[in-house]
Amino acid sequence: MNTIPARVPDTAPSTLGARALPAWAYDHGELQRLELERVLLPSWQIVCHVNSIPRPGDYATLDFGRESVFAIRDRDGRVRAFHNACRHRGARLLDGAGRCAGPVTCPYHGWSYRTDGSLLAIPSVETFPGIDRTDLGLVEARVEITLGFVFVALRGDPPPVAAAWAPFLEELAPYRIEEMLPLGPITEEHWDADWKIAMDNYLESYHVPVGHPGLYRMFTPDYADQRHAPGIARGIGHLRPQESPRWAERVYQRHVARIATDLPEDYRRSWRFYSALPNLGIDLFPEQMDFFQIVPRGPGRCTIRGGSFGLPDDRREMRPLRYLGARLNAGVNAEDRTLCARVQRGLQSGSYRPGPLSRIECWMVEFHDLLAARIPEIRDPAPPATFAGVPSRSSGAPPR
Ligand code: FES
Ligand SMILES: [Fe+2]
């Protein structure tokens, strides 16, 4: 087993006395309902990148809990977002991603909407005497574009997303994220772990030396580079000068800095990870960028939604570098998936009591504090009596 160097930033908050959340909180239906209502839906969520929908009529949907929303580029070139429910009898309008060559047309009875959300036409309109179309446009969702991503707020009035990212905009500028293009479609992967277990995992690098041996072979641990602004934690891994004995890792180590010439020298040999509360992350590699978003899928289950993007670059050597980077990351992702599922299973042991947290896990504590501020019961040692009657998945409830 690797020895973990004790290099934690002096600025890291103390975790003295801090413990992980109680086991029940990672597998409970009523709690998840409250998490969606009070934490996730009133926060900014990524739908896509602006360059995922470059032409008028291009759209991308985001399904989130019981909600669904789509971002669309309107005829004037503006990105807008609408709740994905027809104003007639509520049918879902769009799926996945694609392009509406004409209006957005409901697949049920054919009501159609312009790309600015206004109601365009109703089949057999004469059968709706006295109808007022002006009040029947799609319900618009708040949109904010930051770092090239289309963020939407499904509920409430969260503070501007740009404000949260402001402390990092300068260091992110060399990547030119806004100019990147999608390298493939947005993907979804189902994990057998509660969304909070996945987020806990993305908020700490304590597990890297043991849980990700490949990363540890290639990179120095990032403890000294952890930096924090409210709601966002950043870690940086620097490529080690010693080459890995593994072929793919070694080839990547050897060539990445030579190929990633768009970036300043000190960026060419590092991977940067930004985890944003409550459920998002952006990872920057010298050759590409990805985002991830953790979407609850019932207690004890979640979906990891994400996509990869890169600057336009048709040099012959960039393609294999991106392939290698993606392959190495897929391995890391598979390790995280397995580790999170192991936590989910381990928490079902009646013997488990939350253990102490390292200072390297301090951003988890901020995450749990945020949850507890909106749902105080989350730190109770057992589900409160008011949550009774809402079974968890492990107690035999059917998945949603
Ligand atoms: S539900 Fe959309 S047209 Fe009827
Ligand atoms: Fe990990």
Query: Per-residue pLDDT tens for 351-385?
Result: 999 999 999 999 999 999 999 999 999 999 999 99
User: CA–CA separation, 352 vs 358, rounded Å?
Assistant: 18
* Sequence ranges of the domains in the chain: 8-42+162-382, 44-157
State the architecture of 44-157 in CATH terms.
3-layer Sandwich (2.102)
Q: Which of 68, 86, 112, 131 to mutate to test the pocket of ligand 1 (most atoms within 8 A of CB)?
A: 86
Kindly report the pTM of this predicted structure: 0.93
Atom of ligand 1 nearest to the CA of 89: 1
Give the residue among 381, 337, 55, 357 at the shortest CA–CA distance from 197: 337
Q: What is the pLDDT of residue 390?
A: 55
Q: Which residue CA neighbors atom 1 of ligand 1 most closely?
A: 89
Q: Return the pLDDT at 11.
A: 61
Identify which ligand lies nearest to the alpha carbon of 273: 2
User: Average pLDDT for residues 90-109, to the nearest whole number?
Assistant: 98
Ligand 1 contact, 128 CB (< 6 A): no
Question: Are the C-beta atoms of 241 and 25 separated by less than 8 Å?
Answer: no
- At residue 292 the predicted structure's pLDDT band, cuts being 50, 70 and 90, is very high
* Residue to mutate, 94, 106, 113, ligand 1, most ligand atoms under 8 Å from C-beta: 106
CA angle 145, 186, 111 (to 5 degrees): 75
pLDDT band at 10 (very low <50, low <70, confident <90, very high): low
Q: Ligand 1 in contact with 109 (CB < 6 A)?
A: yes
Instruction: Give the mean pLDDT of 50-63.
Output: 98
Q: What is the Å distance from ligand 2's center to 213 Cα?
A: 10
Residue 389 has pLDDT above 80, yes or no: no
Does position 125 have pLDDT exceeding 60, yes or no?
yes
Q: What is the mean pLDDT of residues 36-59?
A: 98
Q: Give residue 139 CA to ligand 1 midpoint distance, Å.
A: 15
Kindly report the length of the chain.
400
Please give the distance of CA 228 from its chain centroid, rounded to a whole number.
18
Residue 119 has phi, psi (to 5 degrees) of -70, 125
Give the integer Cα–Cα distance in Å for 304 and 136.
34
Three-state secondary structure string covering 4-31: CCCCCCCCCCCCCCCECCCHHHHCCHHH
| pLDDT band, residue 398 (cuts 50/70/90) | very low
Name the 3-class secondary structure at 305: strand
Q: How confident is the model at residue 395 (pLDDT cuts 50, 70, 90)?
A: very low
Point out the ligand 1 atom lying closest to the alpha carbon of residue 122: 3
Ligand 2 midpoint to CA 88 (Å) = 45
pLDDT digits 0-9 by tens, 146-156: 999 999 999 99
Least confident range of 102-116, 188-202, 221-235, 367-381 = 221-235
Q: Which residues are CB-contacts of 2 (< 8 A; sequence separation ≥ 6)?
A: 209, 210, 213, 216
Q: What is the structure's pLDDT at 12? A: 66
57 has a pLDDT exceeding 60: yes
Among 178, 151, 190, 191, residue whose Cα is nearest residue 69: 151
Is the CATH number 3.90.380.10 carried by domain 8-42+162-382? yes
Check pLDDT > 60 for residue 84. Answer: yes
What is the Å distance from ligand 1's center to 127 Cα? 14
Tell me if 125 CB under 6 Å of ligand 1: no
